[in-house]
């Protein structure tokens, strides 16, 4: 699929459909806020991850990095073998090939922005 010609984008995040992760990530959805496929952003993709109370993402690793900014709620992240408590305003960097997972430890949705490179190649 060829990327669309970039035209710019202004939209409220709720205007972007939330996709369910599936059984491996109960209570977790992802919104591709800006990406190459829909917006023609050739370098960087911005996603919003939302985790319901008691939910989590899968424990996994991949060759590309993550840059995160916690928008709302509280949770924790596993980075470099250690758990770190998170709250609104916290920033997380997960290098490529590092195992990680996120969990909601609060009683409201845990929301964070997640930036990744579009061309996830080595």
pLDDT at 2: 63
Q: Encode pLDDT of 59-98 as tens digits.
A: 999 899 999 999 999 999 999 999 999 999 999 999 999 9
Q: What is the helix (H) or strand (E) element at residue 78, kind and residue range?
A: strand 74-79
pTM to 2 decimals? 0.89
- Say what percent of the chain tops pLDDT 70: 93
Cβ count within 10 A of residue 1: 5
Distance, CA of 86 to chain centre: 14
- Of 60, 16, 61, 54, the closest CA to residue 34 belongs to 16
Cα 49 to Cα 55: distance, rounded to the nearest angstrom: 12
| Structure-token pair, residue 66 | 């993550």
pLDDT reading at 1 higher than 60 = no
Q: Encode pLDDT of 2-15 as tens digits.
A: 666 767 899 999 99
pLDDT at 84: 98
Q: Mean of the per-residue pLDDT values for the chain?
A: 91
pLDDT reading at 120 higher than 60 = no
Average of pLDDT values for 55-59?
A: 95
Name the class of domain 19-117: mainly beta
pLDDT at 61: 92
Q: Where are the domains of the chain?
A: 19-117
């Amino acid at each position: 699929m060829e990327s669309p010609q970039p035209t710019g984008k202004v939209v409220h995040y709720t205007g972007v459909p939330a996709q369910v992760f599936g059984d491996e990530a109960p209570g977790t959805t992802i919104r591709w806020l800006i990406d190459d496929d829909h917006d023609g952003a050739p370098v960087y993709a911005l996603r919003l991850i939302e985790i319901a109370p008691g939910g989590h993402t899968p424990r996994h690793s991949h060759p590309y990095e993550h840059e995160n900014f916690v928008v709302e709620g509280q949770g924790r992240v596993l980075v470099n073998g250690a758990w770190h408590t998170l709250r609104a305003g916290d920033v997380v960097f997960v290098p490529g090939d590092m195992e990680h997972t996120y969990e909601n430890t609060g009683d409201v949705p845990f929301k964070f922005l997640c930036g990744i490179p579009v061309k996830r190649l080595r």
